[in-house]
């Protein structure tokens, strides 16, 4: 699909709902990938639906923060025409938090605090602009390959100056995460978003919704009256206190700002980034491409047969052109018989590899893997092997480098510093040494500042035990014994000075006879 001099070319649908569909698209003028949210054709005359999309565009465009999806463009055509209403937004590479929870289940507290810290920072930017999200939930939190969060979907967000876009007494939000004041039909505030974020964090820690009941109505009632269920170890007490404060029934009892929540989450040990599992498959563009106009086809439809040509026979040169076109599109092998040949895509980017595989009549399936010193997003292996023949529509699995390398604290603690540092450097990390005084384990690594799936080339600090200083009463100096493996000239400071006083005494009396 395209509009305005064919500026936006739509690819696959990446999301859909009652309002419309979201497409992965290309801005042909700027040459960048974008997301286009298009209002459904049957809702184009619905003034409330049009007003919601208009409000979403204007509100989200007023927020400038890396943790909030940007809005680039908005178009609203006359509903009496065949035009469409749509928003052009930042396309966020990655998957939603809800998908991660389905695949992985409960997350470690430091990962959850990282999510809370990052999302709270994005919320603070929205609140500073006078905007309340009102529908914070895992499905609206995107996770990028770098382990960062991006807040999306301000479809029911509202500013203090906004006109109501819902019916009176209508419940606005998702009942699993909605605040008590929203259940009562009261206006949402920044503290309402903090309540929802607290319930998102609870879901991340436990793998379940805190107040889900048999029906949405029962769930909403639980939000009003039930207390947050207790959290069990290994969740730290400080994390539970923060979540209980965020989910207090009265807005006044919750933290004052989202910035306060972000600060507390960081103090509770938030990880630097979210640790996505190596099996978290990446999204690849689908083969469907539309050349229709946004004004006529907001959603992909079945292809129509071309009208038959009337009249005389097709000239020979035209028939040859048709055959050549088929050879280009389908591949000579498919026309002449036989199975497609698997292309060699190792070393390509995942997106380029997907296009190459589809061009051969096969289906790409990508899995992210952790591997050292390989560029993020590059294909490092494939199956079947290049050159093999495979039936059409066979899935070709490509292994895509995550840009991260796993490091276990247990794999370095207890080793000598030289050996541990060499192993980490071989994996592409930069190693720093920090000496700590210990009465034992001299020369060994006793602590590491970070572990888990770390970005390729990250800096890791190893704490190495060194012997405590020894105070010698005679000289009053502090001496530290050399560490194991230290050079021989690393001797106590007073070595060779034992007779210095005698030498001075002799020199003083010389020549006084």
Active-site amino acid positions: 135
If DSSP states are collapsed to H, E and C, what string results for 349-415? Answer: EHHHHHHHHHHCCCEEEEEEECCCCCCCCEEEEEECCCCCECCCCCEEEEEEECCEEEECHHHCCCC
Torsion angle of the four alpha carbons 77, 78, 81, 83, in this order, in degrees rounded to the nearest 10: 10
Q: Which residue, chain included where needed, has tokens 């003028």? A: 29
Cβ atoms of residues 1 and 9 within 8 Å: yes
Each residue of 382-413: b (16+ CB within 10 Å) or e? beeeeeeebeeebebebbbbbbbbbbeeeebb
User: What one-character DSSP code corresponds to residue 473?
Assistant: T
Percentages helix, strand, coil for the chain (3-state, rounded to 5) are: 30, 20, 50
Q: Distance between the two ends of the chain, CA-based, in angstroms?
A: 112
d(CA 274, CA 404): 11
Is the bond preceding residue 234 a cis peptide, omega within 30 degrees? yes
d(CA 256, CA 120): 12
Sign of the four-CA dihedral 84, 87, 93, 96: negative
37 known member of a binding site: yes
Angle ∠(23,25,30) on CA atoms, nearest 5: 150
Q: Where are the alpha helices (DSSP H) in 167-206?
A: 180-183, 190-206
Binding residues for ATP: 37
């Amino acid at each position: 699909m395209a509009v305005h001099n064919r500026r936006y070319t739509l690819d696959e649908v990446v999301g859909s709902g009652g309002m419309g569909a979201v497409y992965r698209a290309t801005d042909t003028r700027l040459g960048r990938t974008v997301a286009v949210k298009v209002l459904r054709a049957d809702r184009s005359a619905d003034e409330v639906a049009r007003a919601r999309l208009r409000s979403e565009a204007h509100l989200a465009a007023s927020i400038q923060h890396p943790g909030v999806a940007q809005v680039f463009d908005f178009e609203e055509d006359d509903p009496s025409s065949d035009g469409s209403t749509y928003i052009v937004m930042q396309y966020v590479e990655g998957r939603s938090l809800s998908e991660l929870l389905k695949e992985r289940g409960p997350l470690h507290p430091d990962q959850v605090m990282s999510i809370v810290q990052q999302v709270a920072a994005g919320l603070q930017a929205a609140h500073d602009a006078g905007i309340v999200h009102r529908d914070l939930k895992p499905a609206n939190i995107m996770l990028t390959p770098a382990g960062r969060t991006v807040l999306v979907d301000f479809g029911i967000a509202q500013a203090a100056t906004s006109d109501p876009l819902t019916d009176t007494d209508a419940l606005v939000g998702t009942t699993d995460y909605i605040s008590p004041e929203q259940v009562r039909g009261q206006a949402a505030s920044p503290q309402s978003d903090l309540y929802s974020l607290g319930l998102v964090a609870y879901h991340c820690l436990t793998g379940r919704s805190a107040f889900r009941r048999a029906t949405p109505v029962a769930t909403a009632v639980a939000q009003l009256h039930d207390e947050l269920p207790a959290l069990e170890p290994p969740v730290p007490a400080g994390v539970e206190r923060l979540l209980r404060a965020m989910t207090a029934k009265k807005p006044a009892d919750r933290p004052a700002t989202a910035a306060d929540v972000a600060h507390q989450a960081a103090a509770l040990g938030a990880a630097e980034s979210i640790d996505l599992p190596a099996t978290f498959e990446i999204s690849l563009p689908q083969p469907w491409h539309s050349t229709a106009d946004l004004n006529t086809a907001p959603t992909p439809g079945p292809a129509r047969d071309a009208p038959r040509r009337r009249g005389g026979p097709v000239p020979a040169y035209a028939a040859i052109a048709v055959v050549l076109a088929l050879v280009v599109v389908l591949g000579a092998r498919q026309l002449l018989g036989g199975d497609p040949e698997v292309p060699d895509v190792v070393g390509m980017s995942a997106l380029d590899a997907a296009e190459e595989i589809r061009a051969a009549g096969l289906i790409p399936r990508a899995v992210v893997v952790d591997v050292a010193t390989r560029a993020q997003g590059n294909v490092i292996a494939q199956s079947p092997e290049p050159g093999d023949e495979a039936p059409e529509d066979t899935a070709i699995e490509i292994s895509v480098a995550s840009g991260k390398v796993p490091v276990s604290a247990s794999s370095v603690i207890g080793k000598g510093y030289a050996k541990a540092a060499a192993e980490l450097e071989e994996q592409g990390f930069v190693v720093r040494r920090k000496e700590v005084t210990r009465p034992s384990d001299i020369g060994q690594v006793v602590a590491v500042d970070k572990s888990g799936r770390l970005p390729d080339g990250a800096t890791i600090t190893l704490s190495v035990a060194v012997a405590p200083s020894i105070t010698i009463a005679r000289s009053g100096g502090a001496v530290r014994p050399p560490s194991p493996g230290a050079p021989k000239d690393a001797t106590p400071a007073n070595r060779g000075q034992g007779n210095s006083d005698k030498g001075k005494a002799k020199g003083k009396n010389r020549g006084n006879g």
